[in-house]
Amino acid sequence: MIALFLVGWMSSSYILGLPKDVDRTAVYVIVSGGLIAFTTMMFWIGRLIVKLYLSEHHLRVDANERSTMTKTYLAMTHEGTATEAERAIVLSAIFRPTPDGIVREDGPTDMSVGGMVSKFLSNPR
């Protein structure tokens, strides 16, 4: 937010510092395009940082769950109270595949007629 404010302030001070006889329409277009590009880049970087943070949070929660299950499994095997069925359940839960939590669907939805029909037909009700 501070960077966006500073770039906006610098742009406005540049435009206000122009001589009175200069045609400002071209300057407005160029400065507006630059501001739009800068704002878009800042929001894209923020979105990327949020996605990475949420992925790391998801992996941390998953690691804590696996740690708890591993400690439980070790306590059960140390005491000798675990049956083969319980061992299989705990080991399958510990060694399950881990999704990284990053959403991969970054593209826009398919707005063609064929895409809409296939989406409608593929969704079970």
At 101, the pLDDT band (50, 70, 90 cuts) reads: low
* The pLDDT value given to residue 12: 84
* The pLDDT value given to residue 67: 93
pLDDT at residue 105 greater than cutoff 80: no
Model pTM score: 0.60
Q: For residues 4-12, give the mean pLDDT.
A: 86
Cα 95-100-105 angle, rounded to 5 deg = 135
- Report d(CA 124, CA 6) in Å as an integer: 50
Q: For residues 12-30, give the mean pLDDT.
A: 84
- Report d(CA 35, CA 47) in Å as an integer: 18
pLDDT at residue 41 greater than cutoff 60: yes
Q: For the segment 47-61, what is each residue's pLDDT rounded down to a tens digit?
A: 989 988 988 998 899
Higher pLDDT among residues 109 and 54, named by residue: 54
* The pLDDT value given to residue 110: 66
pLDDT at residue 86 greater than cutoff 90: no
Percent of the chain, pLDDT > 90?
14
Query: Which burial class, exposed, middle or buried, applies to 92 when counting CB atoms under 10 A from its CB (0-12, 13-18, 19+)?
Result: exposed
One-letter-per-residue 3-state SS of the chain:
CHHHHHHHHHHHHHHHCCCCCCCCHHHHHHHHHHHHHHHHHHHHHHHHHHHHHHHHHHHHHHHHHHHHHHHHHHHHHHHCCCCHHHHHHHHHHHCCCCCCCCCCCCCCCCCCHHHHHHHHHHCCC
- Report d(CA 63, CA 51) in Å as an integer: 18
* The pLDDT value given to residue 108: 62
